[in-house]
Amino acid sequence: MKDGKEFRIGIAVVALAVTIAICMGGYHLYMEYGVKKPLTEALLQVDGVKNVEILDEEQDWVIRLTLANDTDLKAVFREANRIAASEIGDSKYSIEVIDNPSPELSSLYDDLELGLYQGIANSSFIWLAQWMDDYTAPHDAEYRIQVDDENLYLMLSKEDHYLARVIKRNAAVDKDGRVDVDA
């Protein structure tokens, strides 16, 4: 009689393990073919997107986009964001742009960074565009700067290399709802 109970417990444990394995496998297949593959295919249809890599890191999704050198970064980023929001739903995600900077472009961006953040903090985008003209001209680098209510989009390019940045426009808001432009 004791052997029969042990046998049933053993079968129950094996059945539980098989059930968990089937559920995990089903979840993995759903994520691969029900979410990642359709999302990748939809993002590859966006003009300017050359490659898509989707990572599921713990509780967040990371969507990495490789773009063509002459891409309209703002249009691509906004469209990718719209597609991701509709495909992923309420899950948290971030979009990263994989670029191809040269050491010279990386150094130029480092030099520009302070002015970029000053332009964002003061919402001085006309000044920022003029300043970018003056600063990038001696380096023979081309730039494209765009802005919307959430981000500033920067593309720097020189020869076959490009650097793409999407910079959040976070305005500091006081507790009473006023925006602090000196933040």
Portions of the chain given CATH number 3.30.300.30: 2-98
Question: Mean pLDDT, the chain, as a whole number?
Answer: 85
Size of the chain in residues: 183
Residue with the larger pLDDT of the pair 125 and 171: 125
pTM of the model: 0.77
**Position 73 pLDDT exceeds 60:** yes
CATH number attached to the domain at 2-98: 3.30.300.30
- Map 27-83 to HEC letters: HHHHHHHHHHHHHHHHHHCCCCEEEEEEEEECCEEEEEEEECCCCCHHHHHHHHHHH
Percent of the chain surpassing pLDDT 70: 88
> Residue 110 has what pLDDT?
95
> Residue 7 has what pLDDT?
66
> Residue 35 has what pLDDT?
78
> Residue 129 has what pLDDT?
92
Distance CA(5)–CA(65), nearest Å, equals: 56
> Residue 173 has what pLDDT?
44
What letter represents residue 122's amino acid? N
Is the four-CA dihedral 94, 95, 97, 98 of positive or negative sign? positive
State the pLDDT confidence band at 180, using cuts at 50, 70 and 90.
very low
Rounded to an integer, the average pLDDT of 103-113 is 94
